[in-house]
Structure 1
Amino acid sequence: MRVASSADWRDALPFDTPVPAADVAPGDPARCSGCPAEVAAWERTALFAVKHRHPNHHSGFVRFYCAAHVPAVTPPPPAAPAPVRKARAPRAPREQTTPQRRVVEDKPRPVCPDCFIEVSATGICGMCGERIA
């Protein structure tokens, strides 16, 4: 199964950067995330949309803020420096030895005198059933 990202207006927003809400999501008045519930809804021209990071969703989430509650822009954390590898001493060359091979002696297997077929380890011919010693 292939998971494709949706074509959503929130995907185009940068993380942790206030953007005028009227530019990215025009529409009816909306509430500020920082204001108390009894405060009336604000016009979209007075709100800012901020996309926040979420620990479980890579797309994050968007909230609207009025000018009094808009969060400060935080610069992204600096990238961690690459780990420094220590120089290792060169290895001593290994002795080249030929691998020891097992020698399996091919013993002649018994053959049925009637069928001319090799007999299994049980000593009974698989074709005619005669016991071969």
Structure 2
Amino acid sequence: MQIRNSSDWRDALPFELPVAAAEAVPGDATRCSGCGPTSEPWPREALWVVKHRHPTNPAGFVRFYCSDHKPAAKLAPAASVPERARRTRAAAGSAAPRKAPAPIIPERETVFCPDCFVQVPATGVCGMCGARVG
């Protein structure tokens, strides 16, 4: 199943970065995700909105948080990723010898039945008329 998205205010939000809810989407009071469904609604001016990543939906999902439950911003360190990848490649290259690539096996030439004009399987017998081809 493929998830289709429609364009709305959530597309403009950055992932894992708290944004003031009144600026992102003005509206009525709503509940904080951390306080639970039985809590009293908060005015939008007192809430933060965060778009989280989702494992199967590339658009993610949005939650509202009060200042007590607001998660910290999760920013990926840009400089450490290439350094870590370089160290991993260097360690992998020196530890184990490289394997030879698998041999390339040519595909069987396609054979067609002269009477039915259908492709004949490897057995050489046409599946439509039963004639032996090839």
Which residue number corresponds to residue 50 of structure 2? 50
2:56 and 2:38 mapped to 1: Cα distance? 31
Q: How does 1:1-133 map to 2 (within 5 A)?
A: 5-76=5-76, 78=78, 79-80=81-82, 81=85, 83=89
| Alignment size in residue pairs | 86
CA separation of 1:77 and 1:59: change in aligned 2, threshold 3 A? farther
Letter aligned with residue 35 of structure 1: C
Task: Tell me how far apart the structure 1 counterparts of residues 4 and 62 of structure 2 sit (CA, whole Å).
Answer: 20
Q: Is the CA contact 2:5–2:59 (under 8 Å) kept in the aligned structure 1?
A: no
User: Distance in 2 between the 1:59 and 1:48 partners?
Assistant: 19
How many angstroms apart in 2 are the aligned matches of 1:34 and 1:21? 15
Report Cα offsets for 1:36-68 as digits up to 9, x if no partner. 333210000100000000000011000000000
Quote the Cα distance in structure 2 between the aligned partners of 1:41 and 1:50: 17
Task: Give percent identity, aligned residues only.
Answer: 51
Larger radius of gyration: 1
Deviations 1:47-96 (Å, cap 9, x if unpaired)?
A: 00000000000110000000000001122155353546x7xxxxxxxxxx
TM-score, normalization: structure 2?
0.55
Segments of 5+ residues of structure 2 without an aligned counterpart are 94-134
Aligned equivalents of 2:36, 2:6: Cα separation in 1: 32
Partner Cα distance (1:50, 1:57) in 2: 16
Distance 1:54 1:13 in 2: 14
Unaligned 5+ runs, structure 1? 87-133
1:109 is matched with: none
Q: Secondary structure at the match of 2:23?
A: helix
Q: 1:38 and 1:6, CA in 2 relative to 1: closer, same or farther beyond 3 A?
A: closer
Matched residue type, 2:61: F
RMSD: 2.7
Letter in 1 for 2:63: R
- Secondary structure of 1:14's counterpart equals coil
Amino acid at match of 1:55: P
